[in-house]
Amino acid sequence: MSDCCTEILICFSAAGASFIEYRAVARSGVSGRGRSGAIGFARLPKLPEKPLAYERDGQMPTIYLYTSEDGRPATWGNGTHVAFIADTKAQVHSFHEQALKLGGKNEGEPGPRLHYGPNYYAACVRDPDGNKLQAVCYASE
């Protein structure tokens, strides 16, 4: 697992040209968790309700390829999402509190996100430029 972040979400307007280019660079047609592609990422098995996703050697960070949530063109504030790893739930709370003090906008109070997994504890903010940032803790504490 990365020491920095768990996931990076990249959004596209519909399935535009850049969407195709990311797929080509990330993989070379091999599915599963083996290394492939120009930068060693392999496509994960796709579930119907999930976006395309790629990992390197089955380790985080996971790169997710989405279309924008609201259907508008993908921009820096409508599609950029980086989730940073926190070691403790207290760090998730601290991240959220500090981000709000520094001008961030609340996008999700600290707490469990059981739809992502039993130990997924996170908080989300948008920075003043509209980028979505998240702190995630996987500890069962």
Tell how many helices (H) and how many strands (E) occur in the chain. Answer: 2, 8
Mean pLDDT of 117-132: 86
Residues 14-66: tens digit of each pLDDT: 545 455 455 555 544 444 444 445 556 777 887 777 777 777 777 777 877 77
Residues 55-96: tens digit of each pLDDT: 777 777 787 777 776 777 767 666 677 888 888 899 999 989
Average pLDDT, whole number, for the chain?
A: 75
Q: Rounded to an integer, what is the distance from CA 101 to the centroid of its chain?
A: 23
Helix-strand-coil split of the chain, %, nearest 5: 15, 35, 50
Residue-level pLDDT at 47 = 77
